[in-house]
Amino acid sequence: MGSVTDHATPSHFSRRLTFNQNLISGCVLFFTVGVYLAVLGLGAGGGKPSSQRVSDISNSSLYGIYAVFGFFTGAIMNKLGPRLTMTIGVAGYPIYVAGLFYYDRTSHEWFPILGGILLGLSAPMLWSTSGFIQWAYATELEKGKYIAIQYFINQAGSVVGSLVAFIIIFRGTSTMNGSPTSVYITFIILICIAFLFTVFGLVRPRDVRRPDGTPVAVFHNLTMAQELKGVAKVLRDYRVLAMLPVIFSCELALGILPSVNGRYFNLRTRAMNNVIFYLVQLPSSIGCAFLTDRLPFGRRMRGYIAVSVLGVIVFSAWIALLVWVSVSSRWASPPTGGVDWTGSDFAGPFVLYLVFGIVYGSHQQIGMWVMGTFTNEPTVLAIYGGLWKGIAAAGVAVQFGMAAAKVSYHAQIAFALALQVLSIPIMLLLVAKARETNYKSEVGAKEGLAENTSDPSRPADTLPAETKRDVANAPQSDTAAAHAPWPDRDVPADSLPPRRSVKMEQELGTDRDHIQRAAELGSK
């Protein structure tokens, strides 16, 4: 690994490249979150239908702890770094799956509940790191793409995990039983592969490079007290406060759909539904990235279109589910063992389940893109990552808690419908407030900044020519406080690094005309 002052163009296969770091992060999600979602989507934690209550309790504990701890994991990630933080984050997943297996075989509840608690502590560490990488390492016009790449790989893991479970179940298990031992063992082995990616794949942020060799940004070395002040400052931002209902509601489908799957379908059909649910999210993630990044309009117009399309899908899906559980006699009294895919009552609910795969993925991706328009500051974005998953976990914890408390499905669906529909106008208002670009209004940790705090003495004449040209054209009205991640940090103005205006690399496939339009709009 080169030193932090080395600005030579890295190889396309170098793990230090921003794009490759995002791929590595996605691979970690593939083997952890992807497998977890595959287990969750089977309903009843992959066990017998009678295991659903304990699965709901375990998941409610998981997400309740996650919701509290997630607020602080961004600050922890800033101190420990991506590699160690994500490695700790992986550790809870194999324990969680082992707990579900233990309960399905022994009916002892303590292990799955303990597994849920431990995963509630570790999972936000993983998600804070992945959120930091997808937001902070991407250029403005690539944030949607980086989010989509991670999400695509994550859901590919769910597809593979679900497919493995489906094949094993289809070939050897009665529809009345839980998943065979081989399913759980396979899942645990897959999860442990993630440790290889975190330990040997991730690098320090200050060593990450663009394709032209420039560092991503300035990374400030803050004390933990300053990090916690940063969390408090983020929570005072009206845009972040406005996003809270959006984040809270984005994963509510995850809290109710496994219960629907476990109640209505038999085991092999649940396993097949799980495969299709995650499979449909692969093309939908590409579609979301196209709407947010590739449409030939400015950032605000792309946001309006993406959020509006999402609104139509969200409203239609939840209304359809509410109507179905209200009028279906088969839902009111499912057959013993559940509905099989060969039955006449399979098709309609199956299509609805498929549509919710699109809702589940698209709501998160577009919501993350909207939040990514707020800033390019890596320190803040790390906190966004922890905050996002913490608040989302609170929503899922409430949904699982309602299920464990035997709240009616009508009430659960109405709750999710109201919140997700409310999130649409909120996102539209935030898109209306978004700048076409943040490059001309922010400094200190911006895209393409050719300096790192570990090398503050680097003279300006050693900067790449394009950097000096951009710096010369950039307005100089920002104060010293704007350069620091938090305004109460005392930073002398003459110690601040030069900054750049819009700088995008052709190697990353961006549209330079599009970038120029964004820069012109942002300077008005």
pLDDT in tens, the chain (524 residues): 444 445 667 777 889 899 999 999 999 999 998 888 777 766 545 555 555 677 777 777 888 888 888 778 888 888 899 999 999 999 999 999 998 888 877 878 889 889 989 999 999 899 889 988 988 888 877 888 998 899 899 989 989 888 887 887 787 654 455 567 788 888 899 999 999 999 999 999 889 888 888 887 655 666 667 777 777 888 889 999 999 999 999 999 887 888 888 888 888 888 899 889 989 999 999 999 999 988 999 999 999 999 999 999 999 999 999 999 998 888 888 888 788 998 888 988 899 989 999 999 999 999 999 998 998 887 788 788 778 888 988 898 888 788 878 888 899 999 999 999 999 999 999 999 988 776 655 544 344 433 333 333 333 333 334 334 433 444 333 333 333 444 433 333 333 333 333 333 333 344 444 444 444 444 44
The per-type count for the chain, helices as H runs and strands as E runs, is: 20, 0
* Token pair listed for 172: 């050897």
Tens-place pLDDT, residues 5-21 = 456 677 778 898 999 99
C-beta of residue 129 within 8 angstroms of C-beta of residue 82: yes
| Residues ≥6 apart with Cβ < 8 Å to 124 | 66, 69, 70, 73, 89, 386, 389, 390, 393
Q: Is residue 442 included in any domain, yes or no?
A: no
- Residue 210: predicted pLDDT: 81
Same domain, residue pair 361 and 490: no
Residue found by looking up tokens 């608690």 in the block: 117
- At 128 the three-state DSSP class reads helix
| Residues ≥6 apart with Cβ < 8 Å to 270 | 41, 42, 43, 261, 262, 338
Bridge-partner residues for 209, per DSSP? 17, 215
- Residue 20: predicted pLDDT: 95
Q: Which pTM does this prediction carry?
A: 0.71
Q: Is 191 exposed, middle or buried (0-12, 13-18, 19+ CB in 10 A)?
A: buried
Same domain, residue pair 256 and 131: yes
Same domain, residue pair 395 and 469: no
- Residue 365: predicted pLDDT: 94
Rounded to the nearest 10 degrees, what angle do helices 33-41 and 18-31 cross at? 30
The domain of 480 spans 462-523
| Exposed e or buried b per residue across 33-58, where buried means at least 16 C-beta atoms within 10 angstroms of its C-beta | bbbbbbbbbbbbbbbbbebbebbbbb
CATH of the domain at 415: 1.20.1250.20
Cα–Cα distance for residue pair 389/150, rounded to 1 Å: 15
Tens-place pLDDT, residues 103-118 = 877 878 889 889 989 9
- At 203 the three-state DSSP class reads coil
Three-state DSSP string of 317-343: HHHHHHHHHHHCHHHHCCCCCCECCCC
- Residue 222: predicted pLDDT: 64
Cα–Cα distance for residue pair 425/460, rounded to 1 Å: 45
Q: Give the containing element (helix H, strand E) for 107.
A: none
C-beta of residue 97 within 8 angstroms of C-beta of residue 35: yes
Amino acid code (one letter) for 215: P
Same domain, residue pair 147 and 277: yes
290-296 LR contacts (CB < 8 Å, sep 24+): 291/144, 291/366, 292/143, 292/144, 292/365, 292/366, 292/369, 293/141, 293/142, 293/143, 293/144, 293/145, 296/514
Structural domain total, the chain: 2
Rounded to the nearest 10 degrees, what angle do helices 52-80 and 82-106 cross at? 170
Tens-place pLDDT, residues 403-435 = 878 888 899 999 999 999 999 999 999 999 988
Cα–Cα distance for residue pair 265/346, rounded to 1 Å: 8
Same domain, residue pair 419 and 487: no
Q: Is residue 12 included in any domain, yes or no?
A: no
Cα–Cα distance for residue pair 275/287, rounded to 1 Å: 19
Residue found by looking up tokens 């298990």 in the block: 173
Q: Which of 259, 203, 235, 246 is nearest to 56 (CA)?
A: 259
- Residue 42: predicted pLDDT: 63
Same domain, residue pair 38 and 117: yes
Cα–Cα distance for residue pair 499/391, rounded to 1 Å: 33
Q: Which of 216, 54, 51, 59 is nearest to 135 (CA)?
A: 216
* Token pair listed for 43: 């309903």
Q: Is residue 212 included in any domain, yes or no?
A: no
Q: Which of 167, 215, 181 is nearest to 4 (CA)?
A: 215
Q: Is residue 15 included in any domain, yes or no?
A: no
- At 17 the three-state DSSP class reads strand
Cα–Cα distance for residue pair 369/310, rounded to 1 Å: 13
Same domain, residue pair 403 and 327: yes
Q: Is residue 2 included in any domain, yes or no?
A: no
C-beta of residue 464 within 8 angstroms of C-beta of residue 212: yes
- Residue 136: predicted pLDDT: 85
Q: Is residue 439 included in any domain, yes or no?
A: no
Same domain, residue pair 408 and 470: no
Query: Any alpha helices (H) in 46-142, and if so which ranges?
Result: 52-80, 82-106, 110-136
Same domain, residue pair 65 and 115: yes
Query: Distance from first CA to last CA of the chain, Å, rounded?
Result: 42
Same domain, residue pair 247 and 353: yes
* Eight-class DSSP state of 209: B
- Residue 74: predicted pLDDT: 81
Same domain, residue pair 467 and 403: no
Q: Is residue 448 included in any domain, yes or no?
A: no
Q: Is residue 454 included in any domain, yes or no?
A: no
Same domain, residue pair 418 and 481: no
Question: Radius of gyration of the chain from Cα atoms?
Answer: 23
- Residue 307: predicted pLDDT: 97
